[in-house]
Structures are given as C-alpha cells and as structure tokens.
Amino acid sequence: TNPELRCMMLHNRFAGDALKKVDRFYEAGIEMNGQIVLCKGVNDGAELERSISDMSKYLPHLRSVSVVPVGLSKYREGLYPLEPFTKEEAQQVLATIHKWQEKLFPEYGLHFIHASDEWYILAEEELPQEEQYDGYLQLENGVGMLRLLLDEFAEAMEEDRINGRQARAKHITLATGRLAYRFIKQMAKQMGERYEGLQIDVIAIRNDFFGEMITVSGLLTGQDIMAQLKDRDLGEKLLLPQNVLKSGEPVFLDDYTLDDIEKALQVRIDIVKSSGRDFIEAILSD
C-alpha cells in the first residue's frame, strides 16, 4: 500500500492511486477481498506491516486479505532479481500474520489476514484449524486448501469405518506436486493401513518445465509427468489431481492431452476432484 513502492513494483506511475478506488468501494459498502504477493526484500518486513495496517482500516467491508509468496519460474532473464523465502523468513511472515489475527479477531470476528498454505509448509509449522480460515474466504488463492482436504478426508474415512466399507487389494499410483506431497502421502498411508492389500505409491513430480521452485500441482505439465513416470510400475491406474488440466478440458498446460499420457505410460488415468471424499472414491473405485 506504499504508493511509491507500489508504482515501482508495478512499473506504473498511476499504481499508487489504487487505494482511492478501494475508498470508493468501502464508502459504498461493497464487500471486497484482497491479496498481497510477497516479494523478498521488497514488500515484506516493515512494508508488510504497513500494508496490513492500511488495509485493516477497510474492515469489515474488506473481508479478507491473503498473503502469498511470489512464484518464481526459471524464465527470469532480464527481470528484477527476486529470491525465494527461507524457512526462517517464512516463520517471520507467519509471526506477523498471526499477530495481526490476534489483534483483529476480537473486534471484528474475522481473522482478516491469512497466509497461503505454502508458508506453513516452508516454515515447517502446523496448518491452522478450520475456524481460523473464516469460512475459507481465500480458498482459490491456496489459503486453507490443505486443511479443508485433510478434514474432509478424515470425516469420510470415519464414515466408511462406521459403515464397515471394504476394498479389494490393488496397486495404484498417485502423482502430485511437491508442495502437497507430504500431505497426500500421509492420506495414502492411512488408506493403506485401513484397507488390507491396498498399495498406493505417491510420487512428487518435479517441475522441470517452469523450474523447480514451482511446486504446486496446478502448474505441472504433461511432459514432466510422462518423463518422470516412464518405466515405472504404476499398477492398475494412475491418479492425477483435477487442477493439472485446463478448466473443462482434458488438456495440460503444455497442450498434451490425457490420451497422450495414457498412451505414453500405458496405464489408465483417473482424475481426482478436489475434496477428501473424492480422494477416497478415486482410490477405491474400479
């Protein structure tokens, strides 16, 4: 929200006027949600404190603000020299966010400022509980996505246990991005322990196309999946998360299709939708 810094970052001399537009929305009582893309050494530290402070004045009409780390692909020639955040720096970002949540929640009943899931993984800290996400206002920005998945999964597993659900023995493979790998591996392990004879291999796909610092599954390409899974025993089928495909199309970001991948790997591919129940059904279905 620092006008001079904002103009520099966006390389636009008019960018500093943005808050005047937010003022008009606020005065009209229009509900808003915001996002801070955090760049190391640029708008973090004291500038992050300033941005949160400035935006908190728009409560309650500004319902939430997410803080996400800038995505750094390998295609950065001629661009501003940005570096990834370290574990310790991620912990500092989370400390700032949690401090503001504790300050604002008692007055507004909203935690307001939210860290995307990447920060908790990078900082090696536990994910917040569901109630801290204020109804998952920033889910599409990767805020609370893993918490929601884990909670839905646990609930569905308990339902199946109560109902005495059984499953046949089989071997399947799950491929995902490196960001969610630990959590997907944990869920697969629980299913393997619950259903006798169920073997689930979970493989984290390295993003060679955009660069190793891109770790979300939504930016994986068909060619990276094919290259890293070839010559492996994938079992009866390969499961891929829904967000590896373009919306409404069986096509990856690099224009490979699901058919291309199936033919190259000689395995049936099923797509896993986003919920914890969908995860279980995709694994157990024939």
Query: How far is Cα 1 from Cα 89, in angstroms, rounded to an integer?
Result: 21
Query: Is 68:37 a contact under the CB 8 Å cutoff?
Result: yes
**Residue 27, pLDDT score:** 97
Query: How far is Cα 52 from Cα 47, in angstroms, rounded to an integer?
Result: 9
**Residue 274, pLDDT score:** 86
**Residue 171, pLDDT score:** 97
**Residue 286, pLDDT score:** 87
How much is the average pLDDT of 240-247?
94
Q: Which H helix or E strand runs over 164?
A: none
CA torsion sign for 40, 43, 45, 49 is negative
**If 0-12 CB within 10 Å is exposed, 13-18 middle and 19+ buried, where does residue 277 land?**
middle
pLDDT of 198-209, one tens digit each?
A: 999 999 999 999
pLDDT score of 47 more than 90: yes
Query: Is 124:88 a contact under the CB 8 Å cutoff?
Result: no
Query: How far is Cα 249 from Cα 85, in angstroms, rounded to an integer?
Result: 34
Helices (H), ranges, the chain: 3-10, 18-27, 46-56, 87-108, 117-123, 145-162, 181-194, 222-229, 258-265, 276-284
pLDDT of 115-146, one tens digit each?
A: 999 999 999 999 999 999 999 999 989 999 99
Closest to 128 (Cα-Cα) out of 148, 105, 99, 156 = 148
**Residue 62, pLDDT score:** 97
Question: What percent of the chain shows pLDDT beyond 90?
Answer: 97
Closest to 111 (Cα-Cα) out of 141, 70, 143 = 143
pLDDT of 227-243, one tens digit each?
A: 999 999 999 999 999 99
Query: How far is Cα 274 from Cα 270, in angstroms, rounded to an integer?
Result: 13
**Residue 138, pLDDT score:** 95
**If 0-12 CB within 10 Å is exposed, 13-18 middle and 19+ buried, where does residue 166 land?**
exposed
pLDDT of 147-161, one tens digit each?
A: 999 999 999 999 999
**Residue 256, pLDDT score:** 97
